[in-house]
Structure 1
Amino acid sequence: MPELQRLAPEHAAAVLTFERENREFFAAHVPDRGDAYFSDFAERHADLLAEQDTGEIQCHALVGDGGEVLGRFNLYDLADGSAELGFRVAEKATGRGLATAAVRRLFAMSVTDYGLDRLTAAAAEANHASRTVLTRTGFRPVGERLLSGKPGITYVRELAGRAL
Protein backbone atom coordinates (compact mmCIF):
# COMPACT_ATOMS: atom_id res chain seq x y z
CA MET A 1 0.00 0.00 0.00
CA PRO A 2 1.47 3.39 -0.97
CA GLU A 3 2.53 5.66 1.89
CA LEU A 4 2.29 9.45 2.07
CA GLN A 5 5.71 10.69 3.22
CA ARG A 6 6.96 14.19 3.94
CA LEU A 7 9.30 15.19 1.13
CA ALA A 8 12.95 14.51 2.00
CA PRO A 9 16.33 14.62 0.25
CA GLU A 10 16.20 10.88 -0.45
CA HIS A 11 13.08 11.34 -2.59
CA ALA A 12 14.92 13.45 -5.20
CA ALA A 13 15.73 10.76 -7.77
CA ALA A 14 12.29 9.14 -7.56
CA VAL A 15 10.51 12.52 -7.81
CA LEU A 16 12.54 13.43 -10.88
CA THR A 17 11.68 10.09 -12.49
CA PHE A 18 8.00 10.62 -11.62
CA GLU A 19 8.00 14.11 -13.17
CA ARG A 20 9.82 12.99 -16.32
CA GLU A 21 7.68 9.90 -16.91
CA ASN A 22 4.45 11.86 -16.48
CA ARG A 23 5.40 15.16 -18.09
CA GLU A 24 3.11 14.80 -21.12
CA PHE A 25 0.25 13.44 -19.01
CA PHE A 26 0.47 16.36 -16.59
CA ALA A 27 0.78 18.93 -19.40
CA ALA A 28 -2.64 17.84 -20.66
CA HIS A 29 -4.16 19.11 -17.39
CA VAL A 30 -1.83 21.75 -15.93
CA PRO A 31 0.87 24.02 -17.38
CA ASP A 32 4.12 22.26 -18.22
CA ARG A 33 6.96 22.89 -15.79
CA GLY A 34 9.35 23.70 -18.63
CA ASP A 35 12.76 22.32 -19.52
CA ALA A 36 14.56 24.35 -16.83
CA TYR A 37 12.67 22.50 -14.12
CA PHE A 38 14.27 19.24 -15.26
CA SER A 39 17.74 20.56 -16.02
CA ASP A 40 17.92 22.37 -12.66
CA PHE A 41 16.04 19.72 -10.69
CA ALA A 42 18.66 19.08 -7.98
CA GLU A 43 18.81 22.77 -7.11
CA ARG A 44 15.01 23.09 -7.26
CA HIS A 45 14.56 20.10 -4.95
CA ALA A 46 17.06 21.52 -2.43
CA ASP A 47 15.31 24.92 -2.55
CA LEU A 48 11.94 23.25 -1.99
CA LEU A 49 13.26 21.40 1.07
CA ALA A 50 14.76 24.63 2.44
CA GLU A 51 11.42 26.39 1.96
CA GLN A 52 9.68 23.47 3.65
CA ASP A 53 11.98 23.93 6.65
CA THR A 54 10.58 27.46 7.07
CA GLY A 55 7.09 26.02 7.51
CA GLU A 56 5.59 28.04 4.65
CA ILE A 57 5.02 24.89 2.59
CA GLN A 58 4.76 21.19 3.35
CA CYS A 59 5.45 18.77 0.52
CA HIS A 60 4.68 15.06 0.39
CA ALA A 61 5.41 12.14 -1.90
CA LEU A 62 3.07 9.20 -2.30
CA VAL A 63 5.58 6.37 -2.30
CA GLY A 64 4.82 2.86 -3.55
CA ASP A 65 6.15 -0.36 -2.07
CA GLY A 66 9.29 -0.31 -4.25
CA GLY A 67 10.15 3.32 -3.46
CA GLU A 68 8.57 4.64 -6.65
CA VAL A 69 6.83 8.02 -6.37
CA LEU A 70 3.20 7.71 -7.48
CA GLY A 71 2.07 11.20 -6.57
CA ARG A 72 2.86 14.54 -4.99
CA PHE A 73 0.61 16.26 -2.46
CA ASN A 74 1.72 19.70 -1.35
CA LEU A 75 0.44 22.38 0.99
CA TYR A 76 1.32 25.96 0.05
CA ASP A 77 1.03 29.31 1.78
CA LEU A 78 0.60 27.92 5.29
CA ALA A 79 -0.61 30.80 7.46
CA ASP A 80 -3.29 31.47 10.06
CA GLY A 81 -4.41 27.84 10.18
CA SER A 82 -4.95 27.59 6.42
CA ALA A 83 -3.10 26.29 3.37
CA GLU A 84 -3.67 25.61 -0.30
CA LEU A 85 -3.53 22.02 -1.52
CA GLY A 86 -1.99 21.03 -4.84
CA PHE A 87 -1.53 17.48 -6.06
CA ARG A 88 -0.62 15.34 -9.05
CA VAL A 89 -0.71 11.59 -9.53
CA ALA A 90 1.15 9.41 -12.02
CA GLU A 91 -0.88 8.37 -15.03
CA LYS A 92 -0.45 4.68 -14.22
CA ALA A 93 -1.76 5.27 -10.68
CA THR A 94 -5.00 7.01 -11.65
CA GLY A 95 -8.41 5.45 -11.19
CA ARG A 96 -7.42 3.39 -8.15
CA GLY A 97 -8.51 5.76 -5.37
CA LEU A 98 -4.91 6.59 -4.41
CA ALA A 99 -5.36 10.36 -4.71
CA THR A 100 -8.54 10.28 -2.65
CA ALA A 101 -6.86 8.20 0.07
CA ALA A 102 -3.76 10.44 0.08
CA VAL A 103 -5.83 13.62 0.38
CA ARG A 104 -7.74 12.10 3.31
CA ARG A 105 -4.44 11.13 4.96
CA LEU A 106 -3.21 14.68 4.39
CA PHE A 107 -6.25 16.01 6.29
CA ALA A 108 -5.11 14.24 9.44
CA MET A 109 -1.51 15.38 8.94
CA SER A 110 -2.72 18.93 8.34
CA VAL A 111 -4.42 19.02 11.72
CA THR A 112 -1.97 17.06 13.86
CA ASP A 113 1.37 17.97 12.26
CA TYR A 114 0.77 21.44 10.82
CA GLY A 115 -1.99 22.90 13.02
CA LEU A 116 -4.31 23.63 10.11
CA ASP A 117 -8.08 23.86 10.24
CA ARG A 118 -8.84 24.81 6.64
CA LEU A 119 -7.59 23.85 3.20
CA THR A 120 -8.29 25.50 -0.12
CA ALA A 121 -7.68 24.10 -3.59
CA ALA A 122 -8.33 24.91 -7.23
CA ALA A 123 -8.79 22.76 -10.30
CA ALA A 124 -9.33 23.54 -13.94
CA GLU A 125 -12.90 22.97 -15.07
CA ALA A 126 -11.54 20.51 -17.62
CA ASN A 127 -9.64 18.53 -14.97
CA HIS A 128 -12.45 16.16 -14.05
CA ALA A 129 -10.20 13.77 -12.11
CA SER A 130 -8.89 16.42 -9.71
CA ARG A 131 -12.34 17.92 -9.25
CA THR A 132 -13.69 14.45 -8.42
CA VAL A 133 -10.98 13.88 -5.80
CA LEU A 134 -11.74 17.24 -4.21
CA THR A 135 -15.49 16.69 -4.00
CA ARG A 136 -15.13 13.07 -2.82
CA THR A 137 -12.96 14.27 0.06
CA GLY A 138 -15.42 16.92 1.20
CA PHE A 139 -14.13 20.04 -0.51
CA ARG A 140 -16.94 22.32 -1.58
CA PRO A 141 -16.81 24.68 -4.55
CA VAL A 142 -16.79 28.33 -3.52
CA GLY A 143 -15.96 30.26 -6.67
CA GLU A 144 -14.22 30.50 -9.98
CA ARG A 145 -10.80 31.73 -11.04
CA LEU A 146 -8.52 31.55 -14.01
CA LEU A 147 -5.81 28.92 -13.87
CA SER A 148 -3.14 29.66 -16.46
CA GLY A 149 -5.75 31.52 -18.47
CA LYS A 150 -8.33 28.71 -18.34
CA PRO A 151 -11.52 28.53 -16.28
CA GLY A 152 -11.09 26.92 -12.89
CA ILE A 153 -13.04 26.25 -9.74
CA THR A 154 -11.90 27.10 -6.21
CA TYR A 155 -12.73 24.83 -3.30
CA VAL A 156 -12.55 24.91 0.49
CA ARG A 157 -12.48 22.16 3.13
CA GLU A 158 -12.85 22.94 6.81
CA LEU A 159 -10.90 20.46 8.92
CA ALA A 160 -11.74 21.34 12.51
CA GLY A 161 -14.77 19.62 13.97
CA ARG A 162 -15.45 17.47 10.90
CA ALA A 163 -14.78 13.86 10.19
CA LEU A 164 -11.46 13.60 8.44
Structure 2
Amino acid sequence: MPELERLAAHHAPAVLRFERENREYFARWIPDRGDDYFADFAARHAGLLVEQARGTCRFHVLTDDDGAVLGRFNLVDVADGSAELGYRVAERAAGRGLARHGVRRVCELAREEYGLRRLVADAALANPASLAVLRRTGFVPAGEVDLGGQPGRRHVLELGSHPYEEGGQRIP
Protein backbone atom coordinates (compact mmCIF):
# COMPACT_ATOMS: atom_id res chain seq x y z
CA MET A 1 0.00 0.00 0.00
CA PRO A 2 1.30 3.50 -0.75
CA GLU A 3 2.82 5.44 2.14
CA LEU A 4 1.37 8.62 3.66
CA GLU A 5 4.23 10.96 4.58
CA ARG A 6 4.44 14.45 6.05
CA LEU A 7 5.29 16.94 3.37
CA ALA A 8 9.01 17.73 3.26
CA ALA A 9 11.35 19.81 1.11
CA HIS A 10 12.46 16.77 -0.90
CA HIS A 11 8.86 16.20 -2.08
CA ALA A 12 8.80 19.44 -4.11
CA PRO A 13 9.68 17.99 -7.55
CA ALA A 14 7.24 15.10 -7.17
CA VAL A 15 4.44 17.38 -5.94
CA LEU A 16 4.97 19.77 -8.84
CA ARG A 17 4.87 16.87 -11.30
CA PHE A 18 1.67 15.56 -9.63
CA GLU A 19 -0.02 18.97 -9.86
CA ARG A 20 0.99 19.54 -13.49
CA GLU A 21 -0.02 16.05 -14.65
CA ASN A 22 -3.42 16.29 -12.97
CA ARG A 23 -4.25 19.97 -13.49
CA GLU A 24 -7.08 19.41 -15.97
CA TYR A 25 -8.42 16.45 -14.02
CA PHE A 26 -8.63 18.44 -10.77
CA ALA A 27 -10.21 21.43 -12.55
CA ARG A 28 -13.29 19.29 -13.26
CA TRP A 29 -14.31 19.61 -9.60
CA ILE A 30 -12.39 22.46 -8.02
CA PRO A 31 -11.22 25.86 -9.28
CA ASP A 32 -7.93 25.72 -11.18
CA ARG A 33 -4.88 26.93 -9.25
CA GLY A 34 -3.85 29.21 -12.11
CA ASP A 35 -0.56 29.64 -13.92
CA ASP A 36 1.00 31.64 -11.07
CA TYR A 37 0.79 28.58 -8.83
CA PHE A 38 3.13 26.70 -11.14
CA ALA A 39 5.40 29.66 -11.92
CA ASP A 40 5.98 30.33 -8.20
CA PHE A 41 5.88 26.71 -7.07
CA ALA A 42 9.24 26.63 -5.25
CA ALA A 43 8.28 29.63 -3.10
CA ARG A 44 4.81 28.20 -2.46
CA HIS A 45 6.24 24.85 -1.39
CA ALA A 46 8.67 26.56 0.97
CA GLY A 47 5.77 28.59 2.38
CA LEU A 48 3.78 25.42 3.08
CA LEU A 49 6.71 24.03 5.05
CA VAL A 50 6.83 27.22 7.13
CA GLU A 51 3.08 26.96 7.86
CA GLN A 52 3.55 23.32 8.81
CA ALA A 53 6.44 24.18 11.15
CA ARG A 54 4.20 26.77 12.85
CA GLY A 55 1.53 24.11 13.38
CA THR A 56 -1.23 25.97 11.53
CA CYS A 57 -1.35 23.31 8.81
CA ARG A 58 -0.38 19.66 8.40
CA PHE A 59 0.45 18.63 4.85
CA HIS A 60 0.83 15.04 3.65
CA VAL A 61 1.62 13.21 0.43
CA LEU A 62 0.69 9.67 -0.52
CA THR A 63 3.62 8.20 -2.44
CA ASP A 64 4.25 5.01 -4.35
CA ASP A 65 7.37 2.83 -4.08
CA ASP A 66 9.20 5.08 -6.56
CA GLY A 67 8.42 8.29 -4.64
CA ALA A 68 5.82 9.53 -7.12
CA VAL A 69 2.97 11.43 -5.50
CA LEU A 70 -0.39 9.68 -5.85
CA GLY A 71 -2.31 12.05 -3.60
CA ARG A 72 -2.21 14.98 -1.24
CA PHE A 73 -4.04 15.04 2.11
CA ASN A 74 -3.92 18.29 4.01
CA LEU A 75 -5.22 19.65 7.29
CA VAL A 76 -5.44 23.44 7.12
CA ASP A 77 -6.54 26.16 9.51
CA VAL A 78 -5.61 24.01 12.49
CA ALA A 79 -6.94 25.76 15.60
CA ASP A 80 -8.94 25.03 18.73
CA GLY A 81 -8.91 21.27 18.17
CA SER A 82 -10.24 21.35 14.62
CA ALA A 83 -9.03 21.65 11.04
CA GLU A 84 -10.28 21.57 7.48
CA LEU A 85 -9.40 18.49 5.44
CA GLY A 86 -8.57 18.81 1.77
CA TYR A 87 -7.40 16.03 -0.50
CA ARG A 88 -6.79 15.17 -4.13
CA VAL A 89 -5.72 11.94 -5.80
CA ALA A 90 -4.05 11.55 -9.20
CA GLU A 91 -6.28 10.55 -12.07
CA ARG A 92 -4.14 7.46 -12.71
CA ALA A 93 -4.72 6.36 -9.10
CA ALA A 94 -8.46 7.05 -8.95
CA GLY A 95 -10.85 4.20 -8.26
CA ARG A 96 -8.35 2.11 -6.29
CA GLY A 97 -9.39 3.07 -2.76
CA LEU A 98 -6.40 5.37 -2.27
CA ALA A 99 -8.48 8.43 -1.41
CA ARG A 100 -10.31 6.47 1.28
CA HIS A 101 -7.01 5.05 2.58
CA GLY A 102 -5.40 8.50 2.70
CA VAL A 103 -8.39 10.14 4.37
CA ARG A 104 -8.56 7.40 7.00
CA ARG A 105 -4.85 7.66 7.69
CA VAL A 106 -4.87 11.45 8.00
CA CYS A 107 -7.90 11.23 10.31
CA GLU A 108 -5.94 8.84 12.52
CA LEU A 109 -3.00 11.25 12.55
CA ALA A 110 -5.32 14.16 13.31
CA ARG A 111 -6.67 12.39 16.37
CA GLU A 112 -3.64 10.49 17.62
CA GLU A 113 -0.69 12.75 16.79
CA TYR A 114 -2.13 16.23 16.29
CA GLY A 115 -4.72 16.12 19.09
CA LEU A 116 -7.60 17.27 16.89
CA ARG A 117 -11.22 16.55 17.80
CA ARG A 118 -13.08 17.73 14.70
CA LEU A 119 -12.49 17.82 10.95
CA VAL A 120 -14.48 19.63 8.28
CA ALA A 121 -14.31 18.76 4.56
CA ASP A 122 -16.09 20.08 1.48
CA ALA A 123 -16.75 18.26 -1.78
CA ALA A 124 -18.40 19.35 -5.02
CA LEU A 125 -21.81 17.83 -5.65
CA ALA A 126 -20.54 17.02 -9.16
CA ASN A 127 -17.84 14.81 -7.63
CA PRO A 128 -19.68 11.70 -6.40
CA ALA A 129 -16.42 9.82 -5.75
CA SER A 130 -15.22 12.43 -3.26
CA LEU A 131 -18.63 12.57 -1.59
CA ALA A 132 -18.53 8.78 -1.24
CA VAL A 133 -15.03 8.87 0.29
CA LEU A 134 -16.21 11.30 2.95
CA ARG A 135 -19.31 9.22 3.70
CA ARG A 136 -17.31 5.98 3.88
CA THR A 137 -14.81 7.48 6.28
CA GLY A 138 -17.45 8.63 8.75
CA PHE A 139 -18.00 12.26 7.74
CA VAL A 140 -21.56 13.52 8.14
CA PRO A 141 -23.17 16.06 5.76
CA ALA A 142 -23.51 19.45 7.43
CA GLY A 143 -24.88 21.80 4.78
CA GLU A 144 -24.35 23.22 1.35
CA VAL A 145 -21.37 25.38 0.31
CA ASP A 146 -20.24 27.31 -2.74
CA LEU A 147 -16.95 25.95 -4.10
CA GLY A 148 -15.75 28.61 -6.51
CA GLY A 149 -19.12 28.86 -8.22
CA GLN A 150 -19.91 25.15 -7.98
CA PRO A 151 -22.37 23.75 -5.46
CA GLY A 152 -20.82 21.61 -2.78
CA ARG A 153 -21.58 19.86 0.46
CA ARG A 154 -19.80 20.44 3.77
CA HIS A 155 -19.08 17.41 5.95
CA VAL A 156 -18.01 17.09 9.57
CA LEU A 157 -16.22 14.32 11.41
CA GLU A 158 -16.09 14.28 15.19
CA LEU A 159 -12.92 12.38 16.04
CA GLY A 160 -13.94 9.92 18.73
CA SER A 161 -12.35 6.64 19.67
CA HIS A 162 -11.77 5.88 15.99
CA PRO A 163 -12.26 8.24 13.05
CA TYR A 164 -14.37 5.87 11.00
CA GLU A 165 -16.69 4.03 13.31
CA GLU A 166 -20.44 3.79 13.18
CA GLY A 167 -22.21 2.28 16.13
CA GLY A 168 -18.94 0.84 17.42
CA GLN A 169 -18.26 -0.92 14.08
CA ARG A 170 -15.39 0.01 11.79
CA ILE A 171 -16.49 1.00 8.34
CA PRO A 172 -14.57 -1.07 5.76
**Range class of TM-score, shorter chain:** over 0.9
User: Aligned residue for 2:104?
Assistant: 104
Structure 2 counterpart SS, 1:116: coil
Tell me the equivalent position of 1:93: 93
Specify the SS of the correspondent of 2:65: coil
Residue in structure 2 matched with residue 145 of structure 1 by the alignment:
145
Percentage of pairs with the same residue: 61
Equivalent-residue separation in structure 1 for 2:22 and 2:163 (angstroms): 33
Q: Hey, what does 2:2 align to over in structure 1?
A: 2
Q: Distance in 2 between matches of 1:163 and 1:73?
A: 15
Provide the C-alpha distance between the structure 1 equivalents of 2:99 and 2:163, rounded to a whole number of angstroms. 18
Aligned to 1:65: 65
Task: Return the TM-score normalized by structure 1.
Answer: 0.97
Summarize deviations over 1:13-40 as a string: whole Å, max 9, x none. 0000000000110111111100010011
Which stretches in structure 1 are left out of the alignment for 5+ residues?
none
Deviation at 1:162, TM superposition (A): 3.8
Matches within 5 A, 1:39-78: 39-78=39-78
Change (3 A) 1:103 1:163: closer
Q: 1:95, 1:160 → 2: CA distance?
A: 28
In structure 1, how many angstroms separate the alpha carbons of the residues matched to 2:154 and 2:57? 19
Unmatched 5+ residue regions in structure 2? 165-172
TM-score norm. by structure 2 comes to 0.93
In structure 2, distance between residues paired with 1:29 and 1:154: 14
2:74 equivalent to 1:38 = no
1:99-135: per-residue Cα shift (whole Å, max 9, x none)? 1011111111101211101111001111111111100
Residue 97 of structure 2 aligns with an amino acid whose one-letter code is G
Partner of 1:155: 155
Distance 1:20 1:162 in 2: 35
State the secondary structure of the residue aligned to 2:138: coil
| Secondary structure, aligned partner of 2:114 | coil
Alignment root-mean-square deviation, CA? 0.9
Query: Residue 130 of structure 1 corresponds to which residue in structure 2?
Result: 130
Question: 1:5 is paired with a residue of what secondary structure?
Answer: strand
Q: Is the 8 A contact 2:138 2:163 kept in 1?
A: no
The structural deviation recorded for 1:163 is 5.2
Instruction: From the superposition, tell whether residues 2 and 128 of structure 1 become closer, same or farther in structure 2 (CA, over 3 Å).
Output: same
Equivalent position amino acid for 2:144 in 1: E
May I ask how many residue pairs the two structures share in their alignment?
164
Amino acid at match of 2:65: D
